[in-house]
Structure 1
Amino acid sequence: MTPPPTRERLIVALDLPTAGAARELVLRLGDSVTFYKIGMELAMAPGFFELLDWLKAENKRVFVDLKFFDIPETVARAVRNLSERGADLCTVHGNQSIMEAAAGARSGATRVLAVTALTSLDQGDLDDMGFSVDIADLVLSRARRALEAGCDGVVSSGLEVARLKAEVGDRLVCVTPGIRPVENRVEADQKRVMTPTDAIRAGADYLVVGRPVRDADDPRAVAEALVAEIARAEG
């Protein structure tokens, strides 16, 4: 797999209440950001698909993060619809048949990512839910299954990326959320976090950053700083 261009490795999460607010942030960021994530909050607001179409018309790449989990046929139809709209990435969260259905339905440039373990979960959370497994082992198991199912990549915390890449190499794209400019800074609901430099050096292909950009006084300056940090980490 050819590494993505440096600037494209930053995915800014448009975690905003309205499509209008999302457009305003995109316009403020200008050409400093080329890749955006749109997720559940915006999907519950008017104008979600119009926003997706607008982003594509602006020559932006789009990561639709809705973590599809339903019967395989329903998931396949959802992925097929997103492919037709030009979504670049989408997420699936389910068993082998669900992942296989999603992978089999994609077309064009759309890539399917399997969710491993949410960055809002830590080992204590897994224990509480009755999963008697180490979180790193769970992530690796999910990655293996995603590869077998034909998925293009996974969503994984930076804390597990190095081990994951050591096993699967470039056969799976690794998209890493929970990125924070300050090392291991726990913020709100994110528990397993990592700095951009550490995540890139661990093997992450793309970094998803939301609040540090969205809530900044100067979002463009923060985005540019993140891209510069990614470039230094690549070197």
Structure 2
Amino acid sequence: MPQTDIAARDRLIVALDLPTADAARTLVDQLGDTVVFYKIGMELAMAPGFFELLAELKARRKQVFVDLKFFDIPETVARAVRNLSERGADFCTVHGNQSIMEAAAAAKTGHTRVLAVTALTSLDQGDMDDLGFQVDIADLVLSRARRALEAGCDGVVSSGLEVARLKAEAGGSLVCVTPGIRPVENREEADQKRIMTPTDAIRAGADYLVVGRPVRDAADPRATAEAIVAEIKAAAA
């Protein structure tokens, strides 16, 4: 089961996968108070105004998930996490071995929570085989989640397909953030392979759902976000 002390509106994280900070601001304005949690990632990090956008979102009392999947020597990752903590990031992601995850977890301050990436939702078993991981993808996700908790991380980013097992075997304190969410009426997968509906993901135990294109590309982004929040609320009841 998902953690019970999170409001339905707080569980929806809208991914600002847009080319410019101004385009991101436009979407945030469209969504208004319907959305309180946003993800800013690699695309915006390569555009001017990334940190200004982060500051603006925090000034508007939004929560911010900085998804840059830090992967470098432990000291460098630690310094990056510390800087993000000082900027008020609520979540950040790390991708690496035990020493990298330990360094990230030790460096966080304030309310910043460190999430370990398990296996990207754009990868399926065939992709994992191609990468040389001769292991069942669900077993790999569980192993990485256990190691993340041992390292002091707060949670993981995981497909909804693995969440139920993670919650059952890795412990209830594990925060599960689930991307690859596709509402029933918007099931185009594109480059996402391991996908799930909001209802199924919440019932599996996901704590937060990351939704990008289904909201961003909707004819009415606000109405779409409101419908997802309503679905989350019903599923979590």
Give, in angstroms, the shift of residue 183 of structure 1.
Answer: 8.4
Supply the distance in 1 between the matched residues of 2:190 and 2:226 (Cα, whole angstroms).
Answer: 24
1:159 aligns with 2:161: yes
Supply the distance in 2 between the matched residues of 1:19 and 1:47 (Cα, whole angstroms).
Answer: 6
| Aligned twin of 1:205 | 207
Supply the distance in 2 between the matched residues of 1:184 and 1:217 (Cα, whole angstroms).
Answer: 12
| Aligned twin of 2:86 | 84
Letter in 2 for 1:100: E
Match of 1:31, SS state, is helix
Aligned with 1:98 (options 100, 115, 118): 100
Supply the distance in 2 between the matched residues of 1:203 and 1:217 (Cα, whole angstroms).
Answer: 30
Match of 1:170, SS state, is coil
| Aligned twin of 2:129 | 127
Aligned with 2:63 (options 61, 64, 67): 61
Aligned with 2:222 (options 220, 223, 228): 220
Letter in 2 for 1:199: A
Q: How much is the aligned-residue C-alpha RMSD, in angstroms?
A: 1.2
Aligned with 2:152 (options 150, 153, 176): 150
Give, in angstroms, the shift of residue 184 of structure 1.
Answer: 10
| Aligned twin of 1:229 | 231
Give, in angstroms, the shift of residue 210 of structure 1.
Answer: 0.1
Worse-superposed segment, 174-183 or 64-73: 174-183
Which structure 2 residue ranges, 5 or more long, are not aligned?
none
Give, in angstroms, the shift of residue 4 of structure 1.
Answer: 1.2
Q: Contact (CA 8 Å) 1:114, 1:146: kept in 2 or not?
A: yes
Worse-superposed segment, 143-152 or 181-190: 181-190
Worse-superposed segment, 175-184 or 139-148: 175-184
| CA deviations over 1:48-94 (Å, ceiling 9, x no partner) | 00000000000000000000000000000000000000000000000
Give, in angstroms, the shift of residue 192 of structure 1.
Answer: 0.2
Which structure 1 residue ranges, 5 or more long, are not aligned?
none
Q: Contact (CA 8 Å) 2:142, 2:170: kept in 1 or not?
A: no
Supply the distance in 1 between the matched residues of 2:187 and 2:146 (Cα, whole angstroms).
Answer: 29
Length, aligned pairs only:
235
| CA deviations over 1:161-208 (Å, ceiling 9, x no partner) | 000000123221000000000289451110000000000000000000
Aligned with 2:117 (options 115, 119, 125): 115
Supply the distance in 2 between the matched residues of 1:13 and 1:34 (Cα, whole angstroms).
Answer: 12
Q: Contact (CA 8 Å) 1:103, 1:149: kept in 2 or not?
A: yes
Q: How does 1:9-48 map to 2 (within 5 A)?
A: 9-48=11-50
Letter in 1 for 2:83: N
- Structure 1 stretches of 4+ with a deviation exceeding 6 A read none
Supply the distance in 1 between the matched residues of 2:104 and 2:28 (Cα, whole angstroms).
Answer: 29
Q: Contact (CA 8 Å) 1:186, 1:193: kept in 2 or not?
A: no
Supply the distance in 2 between the matched residues of 1:30 and 1:152 (Cα, whole angstroms).
Answer: 29
Percent of aligned pairs sharing the same letter:
84
Supply the distance in 2 between the matched residues of 1:226 and 1:150 (Cα, whole angstroms).
Answer: 31
1:177 aligns with 2:179: yes
Rate the CA distance shift 1:43–1:76 in 2: closer, same or farther, 3 A: same
